[in-house]
Amino acid sequence: MRPVIELAGVEKSFKRTAVLRGATLSVPEGCVVGLLGTNGAGKSTLIKCLLGLLRTDAGSARVLGEDAWNLSPEVKQQLGYVPQEAQFYAWMKVRQIVAYWGTFYRHWDRAWVELLLDRWELPRDRRVGPLSPGQQQRLALVLALGHRPRLLVLDEPMAALDPIGRRETLGSLVDLQNEGDRTTLFSTHILSDLERVATHIAILAEGRIACFDELDALKDRVKRLRVVSESDLPLSFSVPGSLRTERSGRQALVAVANLDDALLRSLRETWRADVLVEDLNLEEIFIELSGRGRSRTADLAAQSTLGE
């Protein structure tokens, strides 16, 4: 089966600033993919290239089997998109803009839309302009979900929502995903929300997809090791394949991208050390894999928190 999303060597620059530098990603059907990256990493640019809103400078971007820049009306009917800042006709009432939007889709599900309007307490007879940012964000989500898209792309959809709104939105995404043939690409900085619904994680760093894997697999292999040796560890102490190493006297804190039994055995035998394996949450995994942790090797002072 052809992937729903196919990016191969995508490059995009604005004037002389390169944003995407060969981004490659292949997403199978039925996934909820969390797209992570620091501010300015190029997440919105990647999404716009994927949807044909920006033309790539090099490489290829394909959606549902078609070139992103030349999507057919049939494929566009299967896409849902929520940008960072949704824009509406401010003078229209909620019910008017919902009715207007629905005319563009052959499979607009009125009953589903009415359920979402009730669930998210959107006032049908109020004009859109005076709505709060959170209400406008909810309305954008309703419009993106109303035709039950095969591919749903969300660019920071939770930024203006309160915790209750975020939970309700996640519940609706789960309802849609349970239909079995839907795919979601979800960019957000609220990683605790993403951790509840994502099946896969893609990390964008330095213009490339630095990591793409199932969330459970990431949690199984990316770990923090707390090493306590019988004697002081040398300045040259290192662990093959480590993401980050902090050393203080007999102790070291090491983040590794691929933990296995052989690595643990080697550490214990080579350094005559006790090694404690610590699980990481998604935020901690992102920090380590994106290279935003502390320096790869740091000789900490005696008051280091490693000993606390």
Give me the pLDDT at residue 8, please: 96
270 pLDDT more than 60:
yes
Q: Is residue 247 located within the same domain as residue 264?
A: yes
Give, as one character, the DSSP assignment of residue 33.
Answer: E
Instruction: Determine, yes or no, domain membership for 113.
Output: no
Pairing of strands 208-214, 200-205: antiparallel
Reported as a pLDDT band with limits 50, 70 and 90, residue 291 is low
For the residues 285-306, what does the mean pLDDT come to? 52
Q: Residue 114 carries which side chain, given as an amino acid letter?
A: E
How does pLDDT run across 134-175, given as a tens digit for each residue? Answer: 889 889 999 999 999 999 999 987 776 777 778 877 877 777
Range in 70-79, 98-107, 233-242 with the lowest mean pLDDT? 233-242
294 pLDDT more than 50:
no
For the residues 11-32, what does the mean pLDDT come to? 93
Instruction: Determine, yes or no, domain membership for 265.
Output: yes
As beta bridge partners, residue 299 has 247
Instruction: Determine, yes or no, domain membership for 25.
Output: yes
Which of 218, 233, 248 represents a domain boundary (last residue)? 218
Instruction: Determine, yes or no, domain membership for 42.
Output: yes
Residue with token string 């954008």: 140
Q: Is residue 230 located within the same domain as residue 212?
A: no
Give me the pLDDT at residue 301, please: 30
Q: Residue 155 carries which side chain, given as an amino acid letter?
A: D
Instruction: Determine, yes or no, domain membership for 13.
Output: yes
Nearest to 188 by CA among 19, 15, 12, 44: 44
Q: Is residue 295 located within the same domain as residue 248?
A: yes
Nearest to 80 by CA among 95, 97, 96, 102: 102
Give me the pLDDT at residue 194, please: 84
pTM: 0.86
Contact between residue 131 and residue 162 where contact means Cβ atoms under 8 Å apart:
no
Q: Is residue 76 located within the same domain as residue 172?
A: yes
Contact between residue 218 and residue 58 where contact means Cβ atoms under 8 Å apart:
no
Q: Is residue 12 located within the same domain as residue 50?
A: yes
Which of 187, 218, 249 represents a domain boundary (last residue)? 218
Instruction: Determine, yes or no, domain membership for 92.
Output: no
Q: Is residue 286 located within the same domain as residue 192?
A: no
How does pLDDT run across 98-115, given as a tens digit for each residue? Answer: 999 999 999 999 999 999
Q: Is residue 167 located within the same domain as residue 213?
A: yes
Number of domains in the chain: 2
What percent of the chain clears pLDDT 70, i.e. is strictly above it? 93
- Reading across the β-sheet that carries 17-27, which strands appear in turn? 17-27, 5-14, 58-63, 66-67
Gyration radius of the chain's alpha carbons: 23
Give me the pLDDT at residue 18, please: 93
Q: Is residue 78 located within the same domain as residue 158?
A: yes
Q: Is residue 193 located within the same domain as residue 240?
A: no
Q: Is residue 162 located within the same domain as residue 250?
A: no
Give me the pLDDT at residue 181, please: 82
Pairing of strands 32-36, 200-205: parallel
Give me the pLDDT at residue 157, please: 78
Reported as a pLDDT band with limits 50, 70 and 90, residue 178 is confident
34 pLDDT more than 50:
yes
304 pLDDT more than 50:
no
SS3 178: coil
Domain with residue 56: its CATH number is 3.40.50.300
Domain carrying residue 158: 5-87+148-218
Instruction: Determine, yes or no, domain membership for 285.
Output: yes
Contact between residue 98 and residue 143 where contact means Cβ atoms under 8 Å apart:
yes
Give the chain's length. Answer: 308
Q: Is residue 295 located within the same domain as residue 165?
A: no
Reported as a pLDDT band with limits 50, 70 and 90, residue 24 is very high
Q: Is residue 160 located within the same domain as residue 292?
A: no
Which of 199, 218, 237 represents a domain boundary (last residue)? 218
- Both tokens of residue 12? 């995009």
Instruction: Determine, yes or no, domain membership for 131.
Output: no
81 pLDDT more than 70:
yes
Reported as a pLDDT band with limits 50, 70 and 90, residue 298 is very low
